[in-house]
Amino acid sequence: MPLNIFQDRDGLPRIILTEPKGSSAEVLLYGGQIVSWKNHRKEELLFMSSKANWKQHKAIKGGISACFARFGDLGSLEQHGFARNRMWSLDRDPSPLPPLDNQSSVDLILKSTKVDLKTPHSFEFRLRISLNADKLILIPRVRNTDNKAFSFSFALRNYLSGSDISEVRIEGLETLDFFDNLMNRSRFTEQADALTFDGEIDRVYLHSPNKIAIIDHEKKRTFVLQKKGMPDAVVWNPWAKKAKAIPDLGDDDYKIMICMSSAAIETPVLLKPSEEWMGYQELSTVSSSYCSGQLDPRKVLYGFH
């Protein structure tokens, strides 16, 4: 399927993916960032900051972006890595990956440069973004093209659109250990049977399941996040006070955003020369009347029987 590429009004190359049933996605070559994902009813499924400044040619707060790389450093994901602020290229020779029916895809590539002091290692970072009727799939791959081994932490940072953050609950993180970045990365165990929001949160959940359900009671919609190769999950919301201090975030934006990342943080990925790491993330939505008891979120997590 030929790619639909155009220069948007701010001069950024933008790729439009569409599929026969009407859903769409928009991808910027700058940062390899997905800035829109709409279902067949044209409903926007991703959050975008009301203060997003498209003219500054820097990463936009919102959408989906890759946090890569913090070489050999656990660090905080708030520093995001440098891939979000680089111009990517179309990958003209992508490796064969399993096709999906009615799939619309784009393959992007980011290579290290010798003049960039922030990339001390030589690598190739490839990202396939695929859209079909009810799913958005990202397949990141990092190849070590250096002559020595290196390790890195990684995350796919998903800003999902919500109705009211106080009406959102996340199923699948119960009983897990997590690092709390608000308490100097102290380690705790999740005691609640579901994660809900009533204040600032910045946590790295360790060894999380491959499937997580994000349930929006008010919109009666559940996001299903499936992942492989990224064992951790990051949940972040700045809440009211900190939101006002973030220049590119609207004061009330925290109320309608769900920031959920698939990540490899606790144990950085180690790559020997010529080795390649591959991750996988699939986002989908299901209609949810959970608040009236018609959908058990555990069936979303563990399958319908």
DSSP-assigned states of every residue in 158-175: EEEE-S-GGGEEEES-TT
Q: 75: pLDDT confidence band, cut at 50, 70 and 90?
A: very low
User: Which of 91, 86, 84, 111 minimizes the C-alpha distance to 3?
Assistant: 91
Strand order, beta sheet including 186-189: 4-7, 13-18, 24-28, 33-38, 64-71, 150-161, 257-271, 232-237, 201-205, 177-180, 186-189
139 and 278 Cβ atoms separated by less than 8 Å: yes
Mean pLDDT (the chain, rounded): 87
User: Looking at the predicted structure, is the pLDDT value of residue 209 above 50?
Assistant: yes
Cα gap 141→154, rounded to integer Å: 11
Q: 2: pLDDT confidence band, cut at 50, 70 and 90?
A: low
Q: 113: pLDDT confidence band, cut at 50, 70 and 90?
A: confident
Write out the two tokens for 253.
Answer: 């934006």
| Residue predicted with more confidence, 191 or 298 | 191
Q: Which of 4-13, 154-163, 202-211, 245-254 has the lowest mean pLDDT?
A: 4-13
User: Which of 47, 23, 43 minimizes the C-alpha distance to 35?
Assistant: 47
Q: What is the pLDDT of residue 83?
A: 87
Q: 290: pLDDT confidence band, cut at 50, 70 and 90?
A: very low
| Residue predicted with more confidence, 67 or 3 | 67
Q: In sequence order, what are the beta bridge partners of 136?
A: 131, 283
Look at the block and give the residue holding tokens 């972040």.
236
223 and 272 Cβ atoms separated by less than 8 Å: no
Cα gap 211→128, rounded to integer Å: 20
Q: In sequence order, what are the beta bridge partners of 221?
A: 216, 287
231 and 268 Cβ atoms separated by less than 8 Å: no
| Residue predicted with more confidence, 112 or 101 | 112
Q: 221: pLDDT confidence band, cut at 50, 70 and 90?
A: very high
Per-residue pLDDT, averaged over 46-74, amounts to 79
- 3-class SS of residue 192: coil
Q: Which of 21-30, 90-99, 261-270 has the lowest mean pLDDT?
A: 90-99
Q: What is the pLDDT of residue 5?
A: 85
pTM of the predicted model as reported, rounded to 2 decimal places: 0.90
Cα 162 from chain centroid (whole Å)? 15
| Residue predicted with more confidence, 237 or 56 | 237
- Which fold would CATH assign to domain 5-163+229-286? Beta-galactosidase; Chain A, domain 5 (2.70.98)
